[in-house]
C-alpha cells in the first residue's frame, strides 16, 4: 500500500518503493479555482525538499509547487500540458504533476499524515 504524506503548502506525495508521485491537494485546487496552465519541470532534474518544482496557474493566481521530498524527477504528467483542468477534476488522482525518485526517505518524516493535514487545512479556513 502506498504511503501518502502532505505539506503545509498543500502538496501531496504518494510513495511506492522509492518513487513519490507529487501533486496538489483537493483543498489547494478548490482555493485556486479553474486551473488554466501548469508549468512542468524537466525530467532528470535534481530537486531539494522545499524548493519550487512547478507552477500551477488559475484564473485567480499562479502558485509555486514545492518539492515535498528531495530526489530526481523521473516523470512528468504530460496530459496536463493539453488539459490543465484535470487538476480541478481529479487533483489527487489522475492529475498528479510529477514523480520523484527519493534520495532520502527521512524527508517524509517532516510531512503530515492525512488526518493531520485535514485538520491543518480546516484551520486555514
pLDDT for 57 equals 97
pLDDT for 1 equals 72
Mean pLDDT confidence for 61-86:
97
90 Cβ contact list (under 8 Å, min separation 6):
none
CATH number of the domain encompassing residue 30? 2.40.50.100
pLDDT for 98 equals 98
Mean pLDDT confidence for 9-25:
97
Cβ contact 70:102 at 8 Å: yes
pLDDT for 124 equals 84
58 Cβ contact list (under 8 Å, min separation 6):
32, 33, 34, 35, 36
Band of pLDDT at residue 2, cut at 50, 70 and 90: confident
Q: How many domains in the chain?
A: 1
Whole-prediction pTM value? 0.96
Domain containing 65 equals 3-124
Amino acid at each position: 500500500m502506498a504511503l501518502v504524506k502532505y505539506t503545509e503548502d498543500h502538496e501531496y506525495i504518494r510513495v511506492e518503493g522509492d518513487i513519490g508521485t507529487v501533486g496538489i491537494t483537493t483543498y489547494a485546487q478548490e482555493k485556486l479555482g479553474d486551473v488554466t496552465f501548469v508549468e512542468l519541470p524537466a525530467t532528470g532534474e535534481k530537486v531539494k525538499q522545499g524548493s519550487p518544482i512547478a507552477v500551477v496557474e488559475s484564473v485567480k493566481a499562479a502558485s509555486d509547487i514545492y518539492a515535498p521530498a528531495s530526489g530526481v524527477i523521473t516523470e512528468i504528467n504530460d496530459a496536463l500540458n493539453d488539459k490543465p483542468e484535470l487538476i480541478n477534476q481529479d487533483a489527487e488522482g489522475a492529475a498528479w504533476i510529477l514523480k520523484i525518485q527519493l534520495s532520502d526517505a527521512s524527508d517524509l518524516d517532516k510531512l503530515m499524515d492525512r488526518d493531520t493535514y485535514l485538520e491543518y487545512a480546516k484551520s486555514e479556513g
